[in-house]
Structure formats: C-alpha cells, structure tokens
Amino acid sequence: MRKLLILAVPALLVASPALAQSATGTVAIDGSVANRCMFTLPNATISLGEISLVSNGKLDPAKVNGKSATLNGWCNGTASTMTVTSTQLTTPTAAPTGFDNRVDYTGTAVANAVSGSDSSLAAGAGLPVTVGQFSGDIVVTLSAASSPTNGLMVAGTYTGNVQVTLAPAV
C-alpha cells in the first residue's frame, strides 16, 4: 500500500493548477483632424472681351450675364461656410457726364449644391452660407450686369473680381 500512495502524490502535483496571477494593460490611442478648408484650384479668369454694344457704345449685359468660371476646393467640417464678395468692373479713366466707367453685377458661387452671392452695388461681402463637408467644383457665375447711368462706356481695360472665401467651422 505504501507504493500506491507514493504514486498518487506526484499525480496530484501535476493536476493542481499553478497559482500564477495574470493582468491586462491597455494603451489608448487618440488623434485629431483640424477643421479646415482649402482650394485645390484657387484662381480662374472670366475674359469678357468687348463689353459694349458696337452700335451705341453702351454696356451689353449679355457680354457679362451667364459667364462663369470654376474653382475647386474642399472643407472637412460639417459647419463650414462660403462667402462671396463681388467688386465692380472699373477702368481708372474718369467718366464725364453721359459716360460710365463702371459695371455692376452679381457674383454667385455654387459649392456642394449651395449658392452664395453678392452684388457689387453693396459694399462688403454677401451673407455666409453653410456648405458643410464637401470636395469639388465651385462654379462662379455673373448676372444682373448694369452700368450706373446706362451711359456710353468709357474706353479702357475694366477689371474686377469675385472672391470666394471658404471658412472651416469654428
């Protein structure tokens, strides 16, 4: 009987679990992306050519209205906005009575199926519109062209611009 008991003791040692303790640690990972807007194509030109009617020398609105150019950009914030600022087309040559040296118009930009606009008749920018997150074309179109007195257009080079500002959510 002594032999059986000796054999049973090593079997108990093998079968009993070790008393080791385990533990788990966790490493948290975080990062961030800032709200931002960028233009990938920030400049374009609308060349109007001759803007007066050859027959009477007055502004030909058809030479301005409907003309467009395309910018390209993106915003990654859900509350990103777009603002449009239109400046008059002017020439530095003075306009005597009966003549005009300025063309007013409305510039409209469409991004992410949302449009913002501004008339060059009013100083400052138009109201901001929410464009949210988007990436793609921003089409700028001119409309409502007029001259102050419907007078003869002064000869010269006329310049102006439509500025489109994309702003990330604050």
- List, for residues 113-163, the tens digit of each pLDDT value: 999 999 999 999 999 999 999 999 999 999 999 999 999 999 999 999 999
- Report the pLDDT value the prediction gives residue 169, as an integer from 0 to 100: 80
pLDDT for residue 14 is more than 70: no
Q: Tens of pLDDT along 50-100?
A: 999 989 999 999 999 999 999 999 999 999 999 999 999 999 999 999 999
Element (H, E) at 12: helix 2-15
Q: Count helices and strands (H / E) in the chain.
A: 1, 10
| Domain edges within the chain | 35-167
**Alpha-carbon gap, residue 107 to 119, rounded angstroms:** 6
| Three-state secondary structure readout of 64-113 | CCCCEEEEEEEECCCCCEEEEEEEEEECCCCCCCCEECEEEEEEEEEECC
Q: Residue 1: pLDDT band by 50, 70, 90 thresholds?
A: very low
Q: What is the pTM of this model?
A: 0.83
Bridge partner list, 115: 110
For residue 31, which amino acid is it?
Answer: G
Predicted pLDDT at 19: 76
Q: Is 35-167 a domain of CATH 2.30.30?
A: no
**Span 25-31, average pLDDT:** 96
The three-state secondary structure class of 58 is strand
* pLDDT recorded at residue 5: 45
Instruction: Record the tokens describing residue 91, joined without a space.
Output: 């020439």
Sequence-separated (6 or more) residues with CB below 8 Å from residue 105: 64, 65, 86, 88, 89, 119, 120, 142, 143, 144, 145, 146, 160
Judge whether residue 24 has pLDDT over 50: yes
